[in-house]
Structure 1
Amino acid sequence: MGEELTRTEFTRAHRQEYRRKVQQCLDVFETMLSTSSFEFGRPLTGMEIECNLVDDTYQPAMRNDDVLASIADPAYQTELGAYNIEFNVPPRPLPGHAAFDLANDVRASLNAAETKANKAGAHIVMIGILPTLMPEHLETNWMSDSVRYQALNDSIFTARGEDIVIDIEGPERLRCDAATIAPESACTSMQLHLQVSPGDFANNWNAAQVLAGPQLALGANSPFFFGRQLWAETRVELFAQATDTRPDELKSQGVRPRVWFGERWITSIFDLFEENVRYFPSLLPELSEEDPEVELAAGRIPRLPELRLHNGTVYRWNRPVYDVVETDGVSRPHLRVENRVLPAGPTVTDSMANAAFYYGLLRTLSEEDRPLWTKMSFAAAEANFLSAARYGIDARLYWPGLGEVTADELTLRVLLPMADEGLIRWGVAAEVRDEFLGAIEGRAKSGQNGASWQVSTVRALEDGGLSRPQALAEMLRLYCERMHANLPVHLWTGPAS
């Protein structure tokens, strides 16, 4: 959820001083990139999984306080909605059979959390958008008890000066107004982290941007919101609209949205932080006691809290992260690429397959002598991302040397061999590569991912006589059964006839 704040209201003086300190942090960060020793000798991967809570009828359960108290594990934290929790997986290296160990640990932790959540009258679901969530669930008592979230809500609506309009077209259309950022809470994702050196950051971020479209096409898992079938990954467009601080006039002027794919390839991580400061006013101008210039001059590692807080309110799909870690009692700065493209779920096996596919491709693409992004416009990468969000596994994507191809053809012909090669470079064992990349291959060959399974299952249930709300609830029940069985989604069957 990010660090908690101490206040929800900020004076003009606060905002002015915060702007000064953000710029000061940026200047210090620029100095550090050329003078400081960053931690990257043993690249580590990390994972965060946002989950939903439902009751015994598969409706949203607004009781994350009770569930977290029952789980009693600091790895589990609140998220924006009272029906959301987040699971933070400790960082670890990739080589050997580590991914098998990680998958077993994640599954054991989630199963233990599910057992404890049951005592609080809830079940845990990994899914991009909870399909049974309806407008009435977000009218009152929907927000987690957090100063940060209340301040974020207030700041967004102060900046907009009017209600948010959610307007998404798809097989069905949804148009509604929102007087809070409650719709944002519907968007639950899996975030993948990779620790990199300053010199390698730009290549890894550019590669991650190239991969965003294929990732999403294969991993889409959010086709329903407020009872309507919208995009294969509705979460992408919903998140963009639900956090938009711009009224129509500012959109017409070309003011950039806070949920942002970006607009150019980069040459340094500094490019991204500098864009954040140049383009985006503060939403949460909380001031710290740290003077980063004094800290750096004294030989200590500045934590740059204002810059980090500001970065946390610019929602890039691949976000730069600066952090300070303790290694053998010594504080050292490090940099990460945080990949925020994927929805949560459907299973731990699918989540690990998505991670293996991403990390393998990232390694191969970031180390190419002639990088792919030198042969491809940034606008083409963004168009791939939006096409994948709208059409999922049926999307057509542009790829240099191939032109426009289907997602399955691109995956089978090009991406899987590249992902395998990247995992070999990481030192990942053959058994691990075969299992997790095999799940990706299965999706490409079957044409079934989480989104397509949800849609076909709801259609079959409606054909059997259920109303849309009944079909969504029954589909979610079947989804949870299969999620706990941990069979990869390309092998899931529909409702029994």
Structure 2
Amino acid sequence: MGQDVEERKFTRQDRQRFRAKVHACLDALAEMLAGGQFEVSEPKIGMEVELNLVDGAMQPAMANAEVLEAIADPDFQTELGQFNIEINVAPRPLRGRHIRELETDLRASLDSADERARSVGSRLAMIGMLPTLTEQQFEQKWISANPRYDLLSQQIFAARGEDIELQISGVPLPGYDTRDDLNTICDTILPEAACTSVQLHLQIAPEAFAAHWNAAQALAGVQVALAANSPFFAGRALWHETRIPMFEQATDTRPLELKNQGVRPRVWFGERWITSIFDLFEENSRYFPSLLPVCSDEDPHAMLARGEAPSLSELKLHNGTVYRWNRPIYDIADGRYHLRLENRVLPAGPTIIDILADSAFYYGVVRAFVDADRPVWTQMSFDAAEENLHAAARNGFESHLYWPEVGWVSPQELVLRRLLPLADAGLAAYGVESDVRDRYLGVIEGRCLSRRSGAGWQREAVVAREKAGEDREQALAGMLADYLTRMHEGEPAHTWTW
């Protein structure tokens, strides 16, 4: 959700002061990194899951305030669009059976929330992109009431100086010769709200952060190929994981001329492997103007001198407006400061077991990459990792990815032959019990053998409905209704029929 910010106007002096405060925070962070006082707990799994709201006709329900009041649980919070909410899952250890217990707890929490949402005429949809959303739902009036969101929208458009163009060339549906294309203009950032994700967190010691970030970057394309669940937008069949290009375009502060100059985008994969977490925070301050230049009265150096933990609020606020697919997080808990890696490439859904399978695969492979004698990121270019992400987002299991010592390979072959054993070894190194590893990695194996992700099922289900005589609008609504039924039944999506 990000930090709350009150509605206000910003002056030129606000921006200059904010820049100075960010630099002061950077200096304090450098001092803290050198001092080695960061808290390092045992590895834990933590996540945020973004959800969509629909009505009985499977159309977007602009009712998040009413739904949150009905749910009455502080773990559930608002999000950008009035058709979004988010659940924050408290961290728990990775070891033992904790992932299995998280599956049970998350299932119970979402079932309860959905029941309460139904009491006010809405339902929860755990899906990467709501297929019944239309461009009419992106009007300013549908931004959530929290002042932060409207202010952020204002600042993005002020920086850009013109409306946002959304241009995505689609992938033909199975058996179709023609493709759908999106080419539209939008005057709000609400297309960002169409992109609902699962964000995974891992607390890391400072000296190990660079290795974990590099590992996560190398793995991002594979994650997206396996988990794609966002094939439809505004009635069009676009990429298997349309969230990726949509999010990149919906928050782009650059007009065409700045793109031509090579100015970096705010939704950013990055441009190099790193050697320290400091590299990322320093890049943020060097390349990106502030969007929300709100300053606190805190003096981080004075706090460090007193032995207190500084909030580094300006650094955190600025970091929250640079949307890296793998983002560094500085935070404080119980008076102690720590660092987390936030993985943001995964879509929401389709089911709880699918989400936990994606999580287990990610945590396990990243651990194995970090522990390797010759890390994978020393064997491939950074550009190759970025190209893998976009290839996987566009074509899912039909994509071809580049991998060291293999060359060009399908995601399913790469996972089955190389990465699943690494995921198992990585989870074992965390102390995850063998039957828990088998449960979740078995889902990943099943997806690869069937070559069917949530996106694949959605595309095939819509084709079946259109061949039976339904138009696109009917097919999307009917598919979504079937999706929600199967989502609650809880079997992994690669086993679904249509």
Scaled to the shorter chain, the TM-score interval is over 0.9
In the alignment, is the contact (CA less than 8 A) between 2:128 and 2:347 conserved in 1? yes
In the alignment, is the contact (CA less than 8 A) between 2:43 and 2:430 conserved in 1? no
Partner of 1:359: 363
- The whole-number CA distance in structure 1 between the counterparts of 2:217 and 2:86 is 24
Partner of 1:9: 9
Following superposition, the deviation at residue 489 of structure 1 comes to 0.6
1:219-298 to 2 correspondence within 5 Å? 219-298=227-306
| AA aligned opposite 2:285 | V
Partner of 1:126: 126
| Sequence identity (%) | 58
- The whole-number CA distance in structure 2 between the counterparts of 1:16 and 1:374 is 39
| AA aligned opposite 2:322 | V
Following superposition, the deviation at residue 37 of structure 1 comes to 1.2
Partner of 1:397: 401
Partner of 1:462: 466
Question: Equivalent of 1:336, from 340, 345, 354?
Answer: 340
Extract structure 1 runs of 4+ deviating beyond 6 A.
none
| AA aligned opposite 2:477 | A
- The whole-number CA distance in structure 2 between the counterparts of 1:42 and 1:97 is 15
Of 3-12 and 80-89, more deviation after overlay is shown by: 3-12
- Give the match's secondary structure for 1:141: helix
Following superposition, the deviation at residue 7 of structure 1 comes to 2.6
| AA aligned opposite 1:77 | Q
Question: Equivalent of 2:186, from 178, 182, 186?
Answer: 178
- The whole-number CA distance in structure 2 between the counterparts of 1:141 and 1:282 is 25
1:415 partnered with 2:419? yes
The CA deviation string for residues 368-403 of structure 1, in whole angstroms up to 9 with x for no partner, is: 121111110000000101100101121111110100
1:188 partnered with 2:192? no
1:442 partnered with 2:450? no
1:144-159 to 2 correspondence within 5 Å? 144-159=144-159
| AA aligned opposite 2:296 | S
- The whole-number CA distance in structure 2 between the counterparts of 1:377 and 1:36 is 31
Following superposition, the deviation at residue 12 of structure 1 comes to 1.0
- The whole-number CA distance in structure 2 between the counterparts of 1:263 and 1:230 is 26
- The whole-number CA distance in structure 1 between the counterparts of 2:191 and 2:336 is 38
- The whole-number CA distance in structure 2 between the counterparts of 1:301 and 1:77 is 26
Partner of 2:455: 451
Question: Equivalent of 1:386, from 377, 390, 407?
Answer: 390
Partner of 2:69: 69
In the alignment, is the contact (CA less than 8 A) between 1:71 and 1:117 conserved in 2? yes
Superposition RMSD on alpha carbons, in Å? 0.7
Question: Equivalent of 1:479, from 470, 480, 483?
Answer: 483
The CA deviation string for residues 263-282 of structure 1, in whole angstroms up to 9 with x for no partner, is: 00000000000000000000
- The whole-number CA distance in structure 2 between the counterparts of 1:3 and 1:404 is 42
Partner of 2:37: 37
- The whole-number CA distance in structure 2 between the counterparts of 1:136 and 1:242 is 15
Following superposition, the deviation at residue 120 of structure 1 comes to 1.3
- The whole-number CA distance in structure 1 between the counterparts of 2:321 and 2:483 is 32
In the alignment, is the contact (CA less than 8 A) between 1:8 and 1:150 conserved in 2? no
- The whole-number CA distance in structure 1 between the counterparts of 2:120 and 2:298 is 41
- The whole-number CA distance in structure 2 between the counterparts of 1:106 and 1:366 is 29
- The whole-number CA distance in structure 2 between the counterparts of 1:320 and 1:363 is 17
| AA aligned opposite 2:393 | A
- Give the match's secondary structure for 1:295: helix
- The whole-number CA distance in structure 2 between the counterparts of 1:266 and 1:140 is 39
The CA deviation string for residues 212-268 of structure 1, in whole angstroms up to 9 with x for no partner, is: 000000000000000000100000000000000000000000000000000000000
Following superposition, the deviation at residue 140 of structure 1 comes to 4.9
- The whole-number CA distance in structure 1 between the counterparts of 2:140 and 2:133 is 13
Give the structure-1-normalised TM-score.
0.98
In the alignment, is the contact (CA less than 8 A) between 2:41 and 2:203 conserved in 1? no
1:214 partnered with 2:214? no
Question: Equivalent of 1:369, from 369, 373, 378?
Answer: 373
